[in-house]
């Protein structure tokens, strides 16, 4: 039996400012282990909002969210933080590296937070991930010395450091040119095929979406396909 990494039951989300508005309407969905899923839809359809709910960063919703068959709705801030740390890897549109740390430290940071391995082991794993992404030569550079595509690869390495159940991407290629987009997609695909990594990517790049295993299309807060 293939285990479900993510599952939602009647997930609804309201915005209250300026007027009450239902962004997500009773969404039922699930993602199984090893799937490479993309969420597409027009701007404002709620796809990013859904991703934030699934990532546990936004906890103000109705309905239930299961991660790895475990109900996480209603947990404390601290428990959510450790779920994000251990089970979810993030890649954002704007790279979001800590400008105070060099590339290697940025990758190591979630691992250090988890604290399961020694610093040397974490550093070794971080270098391994950077090497597979062909970024090991930039390991000691500061983020502001890197190009956009390079930063995104570092962000992916950081997402991988704690061997997460699922990697979530919020328009990870949205800010990249065609060449770098393809590069990032190839990395994701390689992760999905070679490492059976579960991936959930929000995008409005249809070329990107069509190459994934499964496409979830959203419109007006509902999943239509």
Residue 109 beta carbon to other proteins: minimum distance, rounded to whole angstroms: 7
Nearer to other proteins among residue 97 and residue 187 (C-beta): 97
Residues 153, 184 contacting (CB under 8 angstroms): yes
Q: Which of residues 118-157 bind other proteins (CB under 8 A)?
A: none
Q: Does 18 sit behind a cis peptide bond, omega within 30 degrees of 0 on the bond before it?
A: yes
Which one of the spans 22-30, 98-106, 185-193, 214-222 is the region binding other proteins (CB under 8 A)? 98-106
Considering the rule CB under 8 A, would residue 66 count as an interface residue with other proteins? no
What is the side-by-side order of every strand in the sheet holding 198-202? 88-91, 166-170, 198-202, 36-41, 214-219, 222-223
Considering the rule CB under 8 A, would residue 12 count as an interface residue with other proteins? no
| Residue choice 6, 13, 37, 55 for contact with other proteins (CB under 8 A) | 55
Tokens of 65: 């969210």
Nearer to other proteins among residue 20 and residue 144 (C-beta): 144
Considering the rule CB under 8 A, would residue 112 count as an interface residue with other proteins? yes
Considering the rule CB under 8 A, would residue 61 count as an interface residue with other proteins? no
Considering the rule CB under 8 A, would residue 204 count as an interface residue with other proteins? no
Backbone torsion region of residue 164, taken as left when φ is above 0, otherwise alpha when ψ lies between -120 and 50, otherwise beta: beta
How far apart (Å, rounded) are the C-alpha atoms in residues 88 and 166?
5
């Amino acid at each position: 039996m293939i285990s479900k990494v993510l599952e939602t039951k009647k997930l609804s989300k309201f915005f209250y400012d300026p007027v009450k508005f239902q962004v997500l309407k009773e969404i039922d969905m699930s993602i199984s282990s090893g799937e490479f899923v993309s969420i597409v839809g027009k701007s404002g359809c709620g796809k990013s909002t859904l991703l934030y709910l699934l990532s546990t960063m936004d906890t103000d919703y109705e309905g239930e969210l299961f991660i790895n068959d475990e109900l996480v709705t209603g947990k404390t801030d601290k428990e959510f933080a450790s779920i994000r740390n251990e089970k979810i890897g993030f890649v954002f549109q704007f790279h979001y590296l800590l400008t105070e740390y060099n590339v290697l430290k940025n990758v190591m940071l979630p691992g250090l937070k988890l604290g399961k391995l020694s610093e040397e082991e974490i550093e070794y794993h971080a270098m391994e991930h950077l090497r597979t992404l062909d970024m090991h030569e930039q390991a000691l550079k500061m983020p502001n010395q890197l190009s956009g595509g390079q930063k995104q690869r570092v962000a992916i390495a950081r997402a991988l450091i704690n061997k997460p159940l699922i990697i979530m991407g919020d328009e990870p290629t949205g800010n990249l040119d065609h060449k770098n987009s393809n590069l990032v997609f190839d990395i994701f695909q390689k992760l999905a095929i070679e490492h059976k990594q579960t991936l959930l990517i929000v995008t409005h790049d249809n070329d990107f979406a069509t190459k994934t295993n499964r496409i979830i299309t959203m419109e007006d807060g509902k999943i239509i396909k």
